[in-house]
Amino acid sequence: MSIYKDYLRGVLKPVREFQLKHNARIYVGEFSAVAWAPGADKYLEDCIALFEEYGWDWTYHAFREWKGWSVEHEGPDAEHLVPSADNPRKRALLKGMRPQD
């Protein structure tokens, strides 16, 4: 089990219960992790894995909006973000977008 998944299960438990009780479709309109957050890639991986497990639709926030959320930038803080062609957050997001077998 990944480091954030148990926490996320607990936080999202009321939503999951609502989904199951009402046979509802769930859409996660935005989620992200700031570029310099320790473990941001693992957090994104765990979010996506849980959303997929639950059959929820999701959208990453925010593609090409603010560099802090952008998986195309990397740096130690908001003042030192630089373009990044490859980084762990971007790989986590791209992995989550691949078709599931």
> What are 46-100's pLDDT values in tens digits?
999 999 999 999 999 877 889 999 999 999 999 999 999 999 999 999 999 988 7
**Cα separation, 17 vs 69, whole angstroms:** 30
Overall pTM surpassing 0.75 (yes/no): yes
Do residues 27 and 58 make contact, with C-beta atoms less than 8 angstroms apart?
Answer: yes
Closest C-alpha among 83, 57, 80 to residue 70: 83
Report the number of distinct structural domains present in the chain. Answer: 1
Structural domain for 54, as ranges: 5-97
- 89, 71 in Cβ contact below 8 A? yes
Under 8 Å between Cβ of 45 and 95: yes
Look at 14-18, 25-29, 63-67, 89-93 and tell me which has the smallest mean pLDDT: 63-67
Average pLDDT over residues 32-55: 96
